[in-house]
Structure 1
Amino acid sequence: MSTDTAKGVPGDAAVNELEAALRGTLVRPGDLSYDDARAVWNGAHDKHPALVVRCAGAADVLSAVAFARDRDLTVAVRGGAHSIAGFSTCDDGIVIDLSPMKGAFVDPDRRRAVVQPGLTWGDLDHETQAFGLAVPGGLVSTTGVSGFTLGGGVGWLLRLYGLSCDNLTAAQVVTADGRAVSADADEHPELLWALRGGGGNFGVVTSLEFRLHPVGPQVLAGLVFYPLDEARQVVTRWRDATADMPDELTTLLDLTTAPPLPFLPEKVHGTRVVVVAGMYAGPPGRGEAAVAPLRGLGTPVADLMAPMPYTVMQSLLDPLWTAGAHNYFTSAFVEPSDTVLDTLLRLHLTTPTPFSELHLHQLGGAFARVPADATAFSRRDASVLCNVIARSPTAAGFEGHVAWARAARREIAAHGDGGLYVNFSGDAGEDKVRAAYPDAVYQRLVEVKDAYDPANMFRLNQNIRPSAGLTATVR
């Protein structure tokens, strides 16, 4: 068998053998579909893998993992391909692409959904809303269900039903040693605990089971735009209003630039604004009273808060987050003190592009009532998650935009304990991992890593490094 020793890529005979074992598709450099197969959502990452295995099912995943393990290839696992840090692709190694795996089974009587990892939130909402049910998802419907859940899952139902990972009840996982294991409350419970916020460190998830909740089909949701000259008043009143909001209402405050859209007055197009977004998913008769404080924070430029289908709110922001732009997201858990709000308002005036922003996602409610040791996501005492976003249509000037975001994050995080959200951690680095998890949680994650991936095969993630030389007992 020939081998490209410079890159460690197996020769044709081995690749042909892998291809013959697949029900899905294997894509090589030079194939007509290669550029499409290697593309990811974040245009900042332009990688050239040696192989892309577009898996049709768990059997293909088993074959791809065995092939990569036996040849010590770098492995990237892809679901929705939205990884901000670029973990869903690699140079020279193998991409295990789960996006063709889009099966979903909804059991409305048990209020459970079993889904494959290629689904996006739009796909899953389509299936569950047919029964008036939902899994707490994200803010953009094109985001992949699996990666989003494994990192936590912050969205519009957070205060009512918790994070996506809080609702993960079981998972099927292909481990580094080639086993297919079921993780639930009875079998491999430590693995399930780690999957609920510990990222893709422990294997390839080929199936997820979620708890479902009654939602919609109509919710009261949308956006309220305020002018920059009222920003201090708006952010302060928003902070104060969140103190006693009902759990059925989750809100987000966004310091951004007004897009040139027809529902906004032309005079504010391209100007910095404050946007308050929210979704009320409780009893319809109580919605107007619940969202009224959001409309009274200042003098609205536009009030787009209205009854709408849940699926519309889930996809409302999609046009602003299309594929191909260059993105860098980072984050910090903070308390919205006057000092923090002043810092954010000052940084708002320095955003490097009209597509860059800072937003505060309201926490609390059901999110805060989950015991800190129930999931690997353990920052349950924070009241606000601050996301810092640098986004540019092209690569021009992007390094400077990233520098702005990193500096902004450092300044904001200095007012808290330095913690960040693993899904919005910017780029790879041990400092990002340690900032995402308290020490005791991190050590527990290391023990799970030792048990299921002691050689660190799955390292393209915010990586939990295994203990050197430790032989762990699989739970």
Structure 2
Amino acid sequence: MSTDTAKGILGDATIAELEAALRGTVVRPGDAEYDQARSVWNGAHDKHPALIVRCAGTADVMRAVEFARSQDLLVAVRGGAHSIAGFSTCEDGIVIDLSPMKGAMVDPVRRRVIAQAGLTWGDLDHETQAFGLAVTGGLISTTGIAGFTLGGGVGWLLRRHGLASDNLTAAEVVTADGRVLRADPHEHPELFWALRGGGGNFGVVTSFEYQLHPVGPQVLAGLIVYPLEEARQVVTGWRELTARLPDELTTVVNLTTAPPLPFLPPEVHGTRVAVLLGMYAGDPAVGEEAVGPLRTLGTPIADLMGPMSYTAMQSLLDPLWTAGDHNYFTSAFIEPSDAALDAVLRHHLTTPTPFSELHLHQLGGAFARVPAGATAFSQRDPSVLCNVIARSPDATAFDSHVAWARNAREEIARHGHGAMYVNFTGDAAEDKVRASYPAAVHERLVRVKDAYDPTNLFRLNQNIRPSTGA
């Protein structure tokens, strides 16, 4: 979009008035930093917002929300900019960019942290691990804490300490009418309930208060790589093991293509493999007994399971997930029956690019012990979450890659609960949103939306429409 087009939407005087009210900055088309400022992690989304407001604090967020409402602008809220569905950017609207807001205050006595919404998990882990504490974070350290938490938050501490959202104890929220609220079990409890799994539907969360847990600094973690010809025995053996693994151990099976990494033999590079990843969130010496059976599911090509720092495990996959690639994620909660695993393995054989993958996340443990109605994230019964990922370095044939992922998901989902994980819902279609929540939960979310955003100002998300249909 040209500068002239932006001026056609918003006059210079109007923008100057906004700038004068901010401690942060406004970036607009034509500015030297505009292309960098508008870019997001997922290269599949190339949008040109009319304005990007880089907020320095809560007051700036308030001004940006008021401005967007007064100018009737489409609003995108950006934290870590990892939104798979592209919700952290928009065309011709306003991006409320929280990434400069990176404050964190750790209380090691109460084991709490107040974390601003611009932090990534790498940022937050750096602060909390100084005290030997952590909360469930993303599998990629560059993921922002905000969208991850609001959609649930699946990570290596899931079975020991639950989702990120399960550990949310309070949030500061700027609502659509410009108010700043504290949401916790006592103040605005329905809003607090909705924030834990309902996504960014109800306002701009400017800070998160989490319960922390003793974790690390050393954990037993890493990965074991098995050849394709052993994939079936690996996934079926893993299924049997998960029924008796301790809560301290969370595991993931990644059906992928071996990258050209130095710890893999050259003849394996570019071949399909089954990778078993895991982390034992306890004494590494005790964890050796728990992870031992994972090493005997086949004949490992490589075994990199061992003691490492918690932050090393949190960032282990970062080099494989760099910004700019085209990504499409979709998901299904399933039970790993023989038929379900057959479907997963069949689609592993047809991945359209070497970067496309299928993940089987082990659930259960602390995740399953949260009562179904306690949070908006209410899919507590399934034992496995399957994520289907289409990924490519560029746009070449990407539509066909997305079609592969959708088709794979539809077949795999027949062996499960019909529900999707809201953070891994690559489409914004209303039926996909409804598939993320039981009917009663969706109805309750609509009531919260009616109370806090009745005009649907915050609609760039897995949108819960208000009852007015706005």
Say yes or no: TM over 0.5: yes
CA-CA distance at 1:6 after TM superposition: 9.5
Tell me the distance in 2 between the aligned counterparts of 1:160 and 1:232: 27
Which residue number in structure 2 is paired with residue 166 of structure 1? 166
Tell me the distance in 1 between the aligned counterparts of 2:148 and 2:256: 24
CA-CA distance at 1:166 after TM superposition: 0.2
Q: Which aligned pairs between 1:32-431 and structure 2 lie closer than 5 A? A: 32-431=32-431
Cα deviation, 1:11-62, whole Å, max 9, x if unaligned, reads 1111000001110010010000000110000000000000000000000000
Tell me the distance in 1 between the aligned counterparts of 2:32 and 2:267: 47
Q: Are the counterparts in 2 of residues 9 and 73 from structure 1 also a CA contact under 8 Å?
A: no
Structure 2: give runs of 5+ residues left out of the alignment: none
Which SS does the other structure have where 2:377 is aligned? Answer: coil
Aligned length: 468
Alignment RMSD, CA only?
1.3
- Which is worse superposed, 282-291 or 457-466? 282-291
Opposite residue 322 of structure 1, the aligned amino acid is: T
Which residue number in structure 1 is paired with residue 20 of structure 2? 20
Q: Are the counterparts in 1 of residues 6 and 50 from structure 2 also a CA contact under 8 Å?
A: no
Q: Are the counterparts in 1 of residues 51 and 94 from structure 2 also a CA contact under 8 Å?
A: yes
CA-CA distance at 1:285 after TM superposition: 2.6
Tell me the distance in 2 between the aligned counterparts of 1:304 and 1:388: 24
Which SS does the other structure have where 1:13 is aligned? Answer: helix
Opposite residue 329 of structure 1, the aligned amino acid is: F
CA-CA distance at 1:432 after TM superposition: 1.0
Percent of aligned pairs with the same amino acid: 78
Cα deviation, 1:240-292, whole Å, max 9, x if unaligned, reads 00010000000000110000111001111000000000000112331110100
Opposite residue 358 of structure 1, the aligned amino acid is: L
Which SS does the other structure have where 1:436 is aligned? Answer: coil
Opposite residue 379 of structure 1, the aligned amino acid is: Q
Tell me the distance in 1 between the aligned counterparts of 2:6 and 2:313: 49
Tell me the distance in 2 between the aligned counterparts of 1:182 and 1:5: 38
Which SS does the other structure have where 1:262 is aligned? Answer: coil
Tell me the distance in 1 between the aligned counterparts of 2:403 and 2:196: 31
Q: Are the counterparts in 1 of residues 249 and 279 from structure 2 also a CA contact under 8 Å?
A: yes
Q: Are the counterparts in 2 of residues 333 and 386 from structure 1 also a CA contact under 8 Å?
A: yes
Tell me the distance in 1 between the aligned counterparts of 2:30 and 2:8: 18
Opposite residue 115 of structure 1, the aligned amino acid is: A
Q: Are the counterparts in 1 of residues 6 and 29 from structure 2 also a CA contact under 8 Å?
A: no
Q: Are the counterparts in 1 of residues 103 and 115 from structure 2 also a CA contact under 8 Å?
A: yes
Q: Are the counterparts in 1 of residues 6 and 92 from structure 2 also a CA contact under 8 Å?
A: no
Tell me the distance in 2 between the aligned counterparts of 1:271 and 1:139: 23
Q: Are the counterparts in 1 of residues 382 and 417 from structure 2 also a CA contact under 8 Å?
A: no
Structure 1: give runs of 5+ residues left out of the alignment: 471-475
CA-CA distance at 1:9 after TM superposition: 2.1
CA-CA distance at 1:417 after TM superposition: 2.4
Q: Are the counterparts in 2 of residues 55 and 97 from structure 1 also a CA contact under 8 Å?
A: yes
Cα deviation, 1:404-437, whole Å, max 9, x if unaligned, reads 0000011111112210000000121101110000
Opposite residue 463 of structure 2, the aligned amino acid is: N
TM-score by length of 2: 0.98
Tell me the distance in 1 between the aligned counterparts of 2:234 and 2:462: 35
Tell me the distance in 2 between the aligned counterparts of 1:138 and 1:371: 23
Tell me the distance in 2 between the aligned counterparts of 1:315 and 1:6: 39
Tell me the distance in 1 between the aligned counterparts of 2:181 and 2:115: 16
Compared with structure 1, are the counterparts of its residues 259 and 50 closer, same or farther at alpha carbon in structure 2 (3 Å cutoff)?
same
Q: Are the counterparts in 2 of residues 4 and 11 from structure 1 also a CA contact under 8 Å?
A: no
Which SS does the other structure have where 1:244 is aligned? Answer: coil
Q: Are the counterparts in 2 of residues 150 and 198 from structure 1 also a CA contact under 8 Å?
A: yes
Tell me the distance in 1 between the aligned counterparts of 2:324 and 2:4: 31
Tell me the distance in 2 between the aligned counterparts of 1:359 and 1:62: 39
Opposite residue 187 of structure 1, the aligned amino acid is: E
Compared with structure 1, are the counterparts of its residues 374 and 7 closer, same or farther at alpha carbon in structure 2 (3 Å cutoff)?
farther
Compared with structure 1, are the counterparts of its residues 21 and 456 closer, same or farther at alpha carbon in structure 2 (3 Å cutoff)?
same
Tell me the distance in 2 between the aligned counterparts of 1:60 and 1:138: 27
TM-score by length of 1: 0.97
Tell me the distance in 2 between the aligned counterparts of 1:345 and 1:36: 39
Tell me the distance in 2 between the aligned counterparts of 1:271 and 1:7: 52
Tell me the distance in 1 between the aligned counterparts of 2:276 and 2:411: 23
Tell me the distance in 2 between the aligned counterparts of 1:5 and 1:356: 38
